[in-house]
Amino acid sequence: MKKVLTLAICAVLWFAALCLFAFSGSIHPACYAYAGTFIPLAYAFIYLYAASKMKSFGVPTILNGFLLVLLLSSGEADTIMVISIVVLTALAEVLRKVYGYDTRKGTRTSFIPLAFTFFCYTSHWWTDTEGSLKAAVVEMPEGYAAKMAPVIDNVGLWIVMILLTIPVAILAMRLAEKVLKK
């Protein structure tokens, strides 16, 4: 029962981290667009703790599954986001199994696909740019859509930020291991 409660708390924290990083968009659209590069700094601690408590199949599925349920039920999920999160989650589960549920290599390697979860959430800016800009006019402060457009148009920087997620995820996991002594 304690393990179930621990994993439930980790899933809630996983979702809370996504919300917190998404909220960074209120500072500037670039913060929202590129927060995915830095969210592994929070996600690594949650994932490492959950993986250390459950040394079997399911940690990536529980964390991203809970996230998907909440995003789908709130109408925040689109098809591309759902498919990409499912693919990343499946890849993380496979890597964890291949490298060992109870090994550092299994935890470290399986975390890398999960580190990209936030980019799945923000992908609508690039897969439905017109709809995202229209929504910004309705939902965000005046002028926000005008600030969004150059961020969306800078695909080169977006690709660089996505690629930077890998070293950030690796460093974040190493930091989490040191801090949590796992």
pLDDT of residue 34: 97
Ramachandran region of residue 142, left (φ > 0), alpha (ψ -120 to 50) or beta? beta
Q: Mind listing the pLDDT tens digit for each residue in 119-155?
A: 999 999 999 999 999 999 888 989 999 999 999 999 9
Q: Mind listing the pLDDT tens digit for each residue in 103-115?
A: 999 999 999 999 9
| Contact predicate 99/51, CB 8 Å | no
Q: Mind listing the pLDDT tens digit for each residue in 45-88?
A: 999 999 999 999 999 999 999 999 999 999 999 999 999 999 99
Domain range list for the chain: 2-180
- What lies within 8 Å, CB to CB, of 56 at 6+ separation is 101
